[in-house]
Amino acid sequence: MGRYIGGRVVSMLVTFLIIASLTFFLMKLLPGTPFNNQEKMSESQIQQMNEKYGLNDPVPVQYVTYMTNLFKGDLGVSFQQDGRSVTTIIGERIGPSAYLGFQSLLIGTIFGLLLGIIAALKHNTFLDYGSMIIAVLGISIPSFVIAGMMQYWVGVKWGMLPVAYWEGFEYTIMPTIAIAAAVTATIARFMRTEMLEVLGQDYITTAKAKGLTSTAVVIKHTIRNASIPIITIMGPMVVALMTGTLVIEQIFVIPGLGEKFVSSIMTNDFPIIMGTTLFFSILFIVVILVVDVLYGIVDPRIRLAGGK
Amino acid sequence: MRKTKWTVFLSLILVLSIFLSACGGGGNNNAGEGGNEGGNAEGGEGKSEQVLNLLESAEIPSMDTTQATDATSFNAMNQIFEGLYRLDENNKPVLGMAADEPKEEEKDGETVYTFTIRDDANWSDGTPVTANDFIFAWKKAMNPDSLSQYASMFGTAGIKNANAIITEGDPLYGKVDELGVKAVDDKTLEITVTQKVPYFKSLLTFATFYPQPKDFVEKQGDKYALETDTMLYNGPFVMSEWNHGDGWTFEKNPEYWDNETVSLEKVTYKIVKDVATGVNLYETGKVDRAGLSADFVDQYKGNEDFVTRLEPTMFFLRLNQKNEALANTNIRKALYLAYDREGLVNVLLNNGSVAAKYFVPKEFAFGPNGKDFREFAPDGFLADKGAEEAKAAWEKGLQEIGKDSVDLEFLTTDTELASKIAEYAKEQFQTKLEGLNVTINKQPWKQFLELETAGDFDISTGGWGPDYPDPMTFLYMFETGADYNRMNYTSEKYDKLVSGAKKETDLEKRWKMMQDAEKVLIEEDFAIVPTYQRGTASLMKPYVKNYFLHPFGADTSLKWVKIEGK
């Protein structure tokens, strides 16, 4: 296992370098300058600014400078916010995004699993149909619609929860529900399908034949085996949720990372684009590794290369 | 074996929940407090809580007065800093850091203004504001290394050598000590101008002309103005909190010379980008003012909280004369006349915007006689002409260029509003001008600017807001070869009038020249097609009094705001 992880870490580093390089060159294709107020700047002002920030250098030179600084741990400073470093900006914004992401994931997973299991066990009953209707709605209604409706009805009309801002637990409830809806739906549908498949397996028949109670069969054999593929979809989901969602953050006025990422692209804030992209890719690469390792642990049938 | 796997799973969940509860702790502190603020402070006669809660749509990019270029920064600065003057309710400059109106002395064609700085003008740490603090900030802005985009304002104010210092190749380039300003002593500031401009005092209210506490700034180095504790304040408020990306808070500045006038104890700003969220926050009393988009206007029109405001921001179409058809004056005239602006402002925008057949906005610049610049042509040019005249001009134009159809590309940005406006323009042009085919090219903002600057368009949408309270801030844009003249317009007559007005010292004559210039630009040359002057619609709680809005520089002044009868 140790050797396997060691090897994986090396290939992760390579992946990271490729992502960093590709992002850098793609970013250089973006039209326009990273400066605020470009519409009021004269040609010569733009030239002077480019000169100051090294944007007139040939792209390969800029690339080498960037990568050198990257290895020193220096991601640069934002163009849009005077002199503030990329690490500071990511640092102050990741908290709310990660918190909201984990909370939605937790809630979404719990409800998703429950709905999926109930639907499978009560296959072709109204409970099954009911669960699946919820799942289809959860997937097909966009989160901003759910968010907007909740904000208006629960927040304004009924006055039960704060409309927006990020100032305590009650402020997290509506955004969590808005994000968790899709998670619940995805996991419920997935779980139901897997459960149904597992229920048809020979080993379930065997277990029943052995005389196990149906509760034991469901808990020990069915749910456990059906959960394995869930881990696969959980990986990317963790990353996607933790890094924040633009729309939900805007609607509920949450100072998260998702909003910053999108706005940095709109404004050509190169250091922020690089910083957030690299941050997301590290998260992603690590999560994929964790998922693979978890596989080996949860399902003994899956052997990781090198581990015997 | 089996048990170990479940243990792994369970411990993962445990770790997750520990993480969650750890995160949850931090944000809770303000929750209770926040809940009370917006709600019911009713009953207390005249003793309303002096707290104002506002929204901004963007983060503050810079709090360094030499670096800021945007509305959010200028707005924040106007509440916590102060120049020699500040704008009052009627947008007239009133004394700020200056104790009195300056002494004026003329010699050798130059004018020397001598300002005395108030004895009680202090920074928030109690140290006095000195003449050197002004000179320090101004020279910092003029220094080419600081790349201050508004350094040109010193030249606009007519200050001696200002233009030369920022002109590359000039013998004075970069020599900031040659700037015509001098600290005679700690409280006496001399400004030498080579040209007296009528809006000199108004300019001094602009952020670039604020002082900076020299010793403090030098001590902070790179960190100056990045956080609340790396700034000093000399305005009505201090910035007590700045949560980047989330919002900021101002509190009354006890060191401010005129703090007796200031009523508000606290002002909070939150960054809210979604209009519907702003409206919902307003409805629940969390904020006292919220902007409205067109779709909310119908819902709130007639509501007592509904307010509109006419801004001095102009929108117009650039007609690129590189295009053979658009090089023809009659074709341009046809486009100018065919566009029905009423439909645009009443239906599409629906927010107090005004149809414009003029380029220098209404309610913005006032002449030597105190009258609005627009008075000479209040409804703009050819105001009574419309579709019929457009058709005639179009046919004449087509004949002159010897074609029976024209294809034009309409360059615009990719926001929802820009797209709607472009569709509207296309429909206007195509239905009224036979043989015209308009293709819309929607681009993201930065790409739009690249294409426009390169002159790679036939028609493009432009907008402009003033930098100083004078028609020249609009008219200089379209001189031959000027930076913003991206449509290859050139007119000797126009150039002569504009450059003449820049030098003219007789204010009446100067005013007339600028009016003539605008007439040439539009009624003779149809160089641009002005479309509308922007209005904004908002909701504002009736208990907010004396909330003053300004047409240039900072949008608002909170110095005089009072909460009454909340």
- Summarize the confidence of residues B216-224 as an average pLDDT: 95
**Distance in angstroms (rounded) separating the CA atoms of residues B324 and A245:** 48
**Distance in angstroms (rounded) separating the CA atoms of residues A21 and A54:** 18
Beta bridge partners of B189: B115, B183
Give percent of chain B above pLDDT 90: 81
Number of other residues whose CB lies within 10 A of the CB of residue B492:
9
Q: Per the CB < 8 Å rule, is B225 touching A167?
A: no
Residue B8 vs residue A185, higher pLDDT: A185
Q: Pairing state of beta strands B181-185 and B188-193?
A: antiparallel
Is this model's pTM higher than 0.90 or not? no
- Whether residue A104 lies inside any domain: the answer is yes
pLDDT digits (tens, 9 = 90+) for B386-395: 899 999 999 9
Q: Is the pLDDT of residue A307 over 70?
A: no
**Distance in angstroms (rounded) separating the CA atoms of residues B105 and B85:** 20
pLDDT digits (tens, 9 = 90+) for B328-351: 999 999 999 999 999 999 989 999
Residues of chain B with CATH 3.90.76.10: 90-218
**Distance in angstroms (rounded) separating the CA atoms of residues A164 and A260:** 18
CATH number at residue A138: 1.10.3720.10
Tell me how far CA of residue A101 lies from CA of A107, B28, B441, in angstroms. Answer: 10, 18, 38
Cα dihedral sign, A111-A112-A117-A120: positive
Vertex A241, ends A237 and A246: CA angle to 5°? 135
Residues of chain B with CATH 3.10.105.10: 310-535
Count CA atoms within 13 Å of residue A178 on its CB side.
Answer: 27
B1, B30, B64, B280: best mutation site toward chain A, by most A Cβ within 10 Å?
B280
Q: Print the domain residue range for A141.
A: 90-266
Tell me how far CA of residue B44 lies from CA of B38, B48, B546, B566, in angstroms. Answer: 15, 6, 20, 8
Beta bridge partners of B51: B266
Q: Per the CB < 8 Å rule, is B446 touching A92?
A: no
- Whether residue A81 lies inside any domain: the answer is no
- Summarize the confidence of residues B422-429 as an average pLDDT: 96
Residue B230: closest CA among A84, A77, A49: A84
- Summarize the confidence of residues A256-281 as an average pLDDT: 92
Q: Per the CB < 8 Å rule, is A32 touching B277?
A: no
Superfamily name with CATH number, domain B90-218? Dipeptide-binding Protein; Domain 1 (3.90.76.10)
A46, A113, A167: best mutation site toward chain B, by most B Cβ within 10 Å?
A167
Q: For B139, list phi and psi in degrees, rounded to 5.
A: -70, -30
- Whether residue A38 lies inside any domain: the answer is no
Give percent of chain B above pLDDT 70: 92
Of B24, B281, B444, the CB nearest to A266: B444
- Whether residue A236 lies inside any domain: the answer is yes
State the total domains in chain A.
1
What is the pLDDT confidence band of residue A304, given thresholds at 50, 70 and 90?
A: low
What integer pLDDT is reported at residue A308 of this predicted model? 41
Q: Per the CB < 8 Å rule, is B280 touching A48?
A: no
Tell me how far CA of residue A128 lies from CA of A120, A138, A193, A198, B387, in angstroms. Answer: 7, 15, 12, 17, 64
pLDDT digits (tens, 9 = 90+) for A11-40: 999 999 999 999 999 999 988 889 888 888
What integer pLDDT is reported at residue B118 of this predicted model? 97
Contacts of A177 (CB under 8 A, 6+ apart): A107, A146, A150
What is the pLDDT confidence band of residue B18, given thresholds at 50, 70 and 90?
A: very low
- Summarize the confidence of residues A165-181 as an average pLDDT: 95
- Whether residue A235 lies inside any domain: the answer is yes
What integer pLDDT is reported at residue B547 of this predicted model? 97
Q: Per the CB < 8 Å rule, is B271 touching A253?
A: yes
Residues of A in contact with B70 (CB under 8 A): 36-37
- Whether residue A280 lies inside any domain: the answer is no
What is the pLDDT confidence band of residue A214, given thresholds at 50, 70 and 90?
A: confident
Q: Per the CB < 8 Å rule, is A298 touching B226?
A: no
Contacts of B251 (CB under 8 A, 6+ apart): B237, B238, B240, B265, B266, B267
Q: Per the CB < 8 Å rule, is A259 touching B273?
A: yes
pLDDT digits (tens, 9 = 90+) for B23-53: 433 333 333 333 344 344 444 445 689 999 9
Contacts of A77 (CB under 8 A, 6+ apart): A83, A84, A85, A86, A271
Of B1, B281, B483, the CB nearest to A43: B483
Which CATH number is B310-535 given? 3.10.105.10
Q: Is the pLDDT of residue B320 over 70?
A: yes
Contacts of A84 (CB under 8 A, 6+ apart): A77, A78, B226, B244
**Distance in angstroms (rounded) separating the CA atoms of residues B323 and B319:** 9
